[in-house]
Structure 1
Amino acid sequence: MKAIRKILYATDFSESSAPACAYAQTLALLAGAEVHVLHVIGELADNRRSRIPPEAFALFEKEIEIQVVKEMEEFCRRHLGEQVSYTTESTIGTPYQAILAAAKEHNADLIVMGTHGRTGLEHVLVGSTAERVVRRSPVPVLTVRAQP
């Protein structure tokens, strides 16, 4: 079996993503791996943003980035602490594409992410980032379903 040296953990900072973080942390401790924590700001990649004047959007984007850095620090402090070595990154884009790109860029051996477990019409309308990552990833993906 291939050694796990780098784990990419994708999060949306919700409490439902905390169980997946616990798995990433445990696997990192067991394997002596580093965790790369990624948050993708998908809302700003929406095509409707062209309706917003560029100056206003740039200011809005900067404010979002400042808030994401604060949320990332708080989330990692609360859920990872000092038990594992980790790095952080936030990016703007389509979530599944950004996750796959980060996995490649950081030579991840494993991707860990939460899933909401949507089914039926909700799944058809919203889609599943986790499903898209699983279908396209060249490295193993561990999905952890959110607790009800």
Structure 2
Amino acid sequence: MHQLVALDDSEPGWAALEFACREHPDDDLTVVHAVDPTDSGYGEMAHLGPEGLLERQREAAEELLAEADERAAEYDCALETATIVGQPAEAIVDFAVENGVDRIVVGSHGRTGFSRVLLGSVAERIARQAPVPVTIVR
């Protein structure tokens, strides 16, 4: 089985990786991090420009995925990693479809009520759009 772990640098994201490594160590695991070029904080876009911002995000993604490799090694779990570009939910679902993924594992921040409406839920959008089963880990 080919499983895709969607990783952001959050506790729920790391919990999703640990779940996949612990529960499915013999499966083919691909860990992806979505780089969203429209997501800039504190005026980075104006300061760096779009190319500079994207390059900074890609560098941060490489560091995050290197850490994912290290954490997976603690479980004797081998990973493939990839950085994808786009709105996270859509980019993750597209990657899953294009790469024959059988299941998506994603962390959830567990937001409820107004904060969920305001901030949205990437995990929920993935679950609604994905053509394969999605495991949401808290």
Secondary structure of the structure 2 residue equivalent to 1:111: strand
Secondary structure of the structure 1 residue equivalent to 2:127: helix
Q: Distance in 2 between matches of 1:15 and 1:101?
A: 24
Structure 2 matches for 1:99-114, cutoff 5 A? Answer: 99-114=92-107
Indicate whether 1:41 and 2:35 are aligned: yes
Aligned position for 1:137: 130
User: Do the aligned residues in 1 keep the contact of 2:3 with 2:28 (CA within 8 Å)?
Assistant: yes
Indicate whether 1:22 and 2:14 are aligned: no
Identity %: 31
Q: Distance in 2 between matches of 1:59 and 1:122?
A: 31
Q: What RMSD over aligned residues (CA atoms) do the two structures have, in Å?
A: 2.2
Residue 91 of structure 1 deviates from its aligned partner by: 1.8
Q: Distance in 2 between matches of 1:63 and 1:123?
A: 28
Secondary structure of the structure 1 residue equivalent to 2:73: coil
Indicate whether 1:76 and 2:75 are aligned: no
Aligned position for 1:12: 8
User: Do the aligned residues in 1 keep the contact of 2:4 with 2:32 (CA within 8 Å)?
Assistant: yes
Q: Distance in 2 between matches of 1:131 and 1:91?
A: 19
Residue 46 of structure 1 deviates from its aligned partner by: 4.8
Indicate whether 1:61 and 2:54 are aligned: yes
Indicate whether 1:117 and 2:110 are aligned: yes
Aligned length: 134
Residue 58 of structure 1 deviates from its aligned partner by: 1.1
Extract unaligned runs of 5+ from structure 2.
none
Q: Distance in 2 between matches of 1:95 and 1:71?
A: 15
TM-score (norm 1): 0.80
Extract unaligned runs of 5+ from structure 1.
none
Q: Distance in 1 between matches of 2:57 and 2:82?
A: 14
